[in-house]
Amino acid sequence: MDYERLCQFYERLEETTKRLEMTDILVELLREADGDLRAVVYLTRGQLAADFEGIELGVAEKLVMRALHESTGVSEEDLTKAYHKAGDLGDAAFEVLSQRKARRRQASLFAEENQPQASMPVTEVFERFHEIARSAGAGSQSGKLSLLQKLLARASPREARYLVRTVTGKLRLGIADMTILDAMAAAFATKEYRPDLERAYNVCSDLGLVGETLLKGGLAAVEEMRAQVGVPMRAMLAERLPTPEEILAKMGGEGLCELKYDGLRLQAHIPAQGAIHFYSRRLEDLTRQFPDVAGYLRESFRGREAIVEGEVVAVDPQTGDMKPFQEVAKRRGRKNVEEVIAEVPVTLFLFDCLLLDGEDLTEKPLPERREALTRSFDLARGADEEGLERIQLSRAKRVTTPEEVVAFFEQSVAEGAEGIMVKSVGPDSFYKAGSRGYQWIKYKREYSSELQDSLDLVVVGAIAGRGRRAGWYGALIMASYNPEEDVFETICKLGTGFDDATLQAMTEELKSYQHEGGPHPRVRARIAADAWFAPVKVLEVVGAELTLSPLHTAGWGVLKEEAGLSVRFPRFTGKVRDDKKPEEATTLDEIISMFKQQGHKRVESAEES
């Protein structure tokens, strides 16, 4: 497949925000891609590989400007003007290359060089991108510049637009993973097999691999895809309910209560030989941040290989008491690992076993998985020099009455947990990777506040700051996730709970996610903003209550015509949920459930606060 042809599909995708139309276009694209399917899937997601492989191009806009200058001869000053005028560096590249093409045509109407230039194959572009990503160390920037300049020198204006957007991380076609899975099912199977594709994706976390497997081996090959050590699975997620009575009713009268630790969820892959790897729920490789945990885990493990899940929590080395999430978060992104190990000691609390010695346990009931976890670790061998066990099993207890749930909850909070998880123990209590359901239910201490729980919301826009906050964003526009429509719907403006340093740093970070020309295609908004962003950043928010609002789109028209839901008096808790993908944010169903649980009888609109 030619890259020019791929870019034509991108143009068509940009012309619509309707998911069904996007799916139809993607079906046509995937069928045409054929042997280039895997590369096309990655490129259409704006990536070079699966998320967990962590392959990034690492090209700054300044370097792209230099590459454009060297490949087109247009001065950097004129390029800057074109960029400011277009508001998008890809559009600026399209403009300058179009002008260069017109000048060449005018200067040499009949010259040999005026013959149409052959488009670059997708495979060649994909490989050049990988070469750019592999360029590291001393002289890497000049290497990246040279490779990018050569690509742009051969590119058509259309190709240049999407080359630039891809290398700067701003392709943003508004296409989610689930939409691509819909298209794969329609292109190579039938809609009834869509769940099989999603199951395979949840197990391998690699859309490109799922597509290639389906194309080459058919549905039979897809159905054979199973958990593998070293390949992270998408995490199983929980629902929430407000009372122990409702929780036990969902569980059929019995459940397993576990502490809900205020830490960082990790999926640990223990190979028979070689290094242990840790992955976050966003599939980031966090291995470098926890070498001490890997050592303790290897010492305590008594099996051959395994995939286990747990929560890594900062602990007080003197007392063993758990510390809040902000403490373990200090380990993220730190390069001086040995120093931070001493500064922030941690314990890994294991709560599930997904694979053990070659056996996939995800289709085993929770009690069997828990038993496998218990017999596979000698916790005493995972203790440090002071005797503190750095590998522990999550504290858990079977319960059958609301009183037992409450007692376990109160004890857990007293120990420093943020609440509890209640999990099904029935014969169908399987581990459903990538799924959210009532097999696992959260019950948190925020339920005693007016707004019964904290919310994980996604930053989708911002309002410019004034006064002391001039030059930064003064408030962020937050959104909840609507999985039915695969979109993000605004729910509040968030301006409190930030200190100046945090807000200033967040302003700089959000610039890399900025979306020009209005809300991102996956964002539904009725409110005005000074800046819009791709839905990437997740923050934890608390508030007084949920109210009906004529300004926000969360649940628009569900509870009242011409009204959505909003958070009254929202406040940032200080917790940035980098461990969560935006699709793991609080969902519309959860928002509506929480609103109803408040006991609202009025339906009048609330003013925006």
Tell me the H-state helices in 15-60. Answer: 19-33, 37-44
Q: How many CB atoms lie within 10 A of CB 434?
A: 18
Q: Amino acid identity of 96?
A: V
Question: Is residue 260 among the annotated active site residues?
Answer: yes
Of residues 584, 465, 460, 570, the one with CA closest to residue 526: 460
Of residues 525, 526, 522, 524, the one with CA closest to residue 535: 522
Query: At 528, phi and psi to the nearest 5?
Result: -80, 150
Selected catalytic residue, list 144, 170, 260, 423: 260
C-beta of residue 373 within 8 angstroms of C-beta of residue 317: no
Q: Name the pairing type of β-strands 255-260 and 396-399.
A: antiparallel
Q: Name the pairing type of β-strands 306-314 and 359-360.
A: unpaired
C-beta of residue 379 within 8 angstroms of C-beta of residue 310: no
- DSSP secondary structure string, 545-561? EEEEESS--TTTTTSST
CB contact set of 162 (below 8 Å; sequence gap of 6+) = 6, 7, 10, 90, 171
Distance in angstroms (rounded) separating the CA atoms of residues 187 and 32: 10
Helix, strand or coil for residue 286? coil
CB contact set of 325 (below 8 Å; sequence gap of 6+) = 262, 263, 264, 575
C-beta of residue 460 within 8 angstroms of C-beta of residue 515: no
Please give the positions annotated as active site: 260
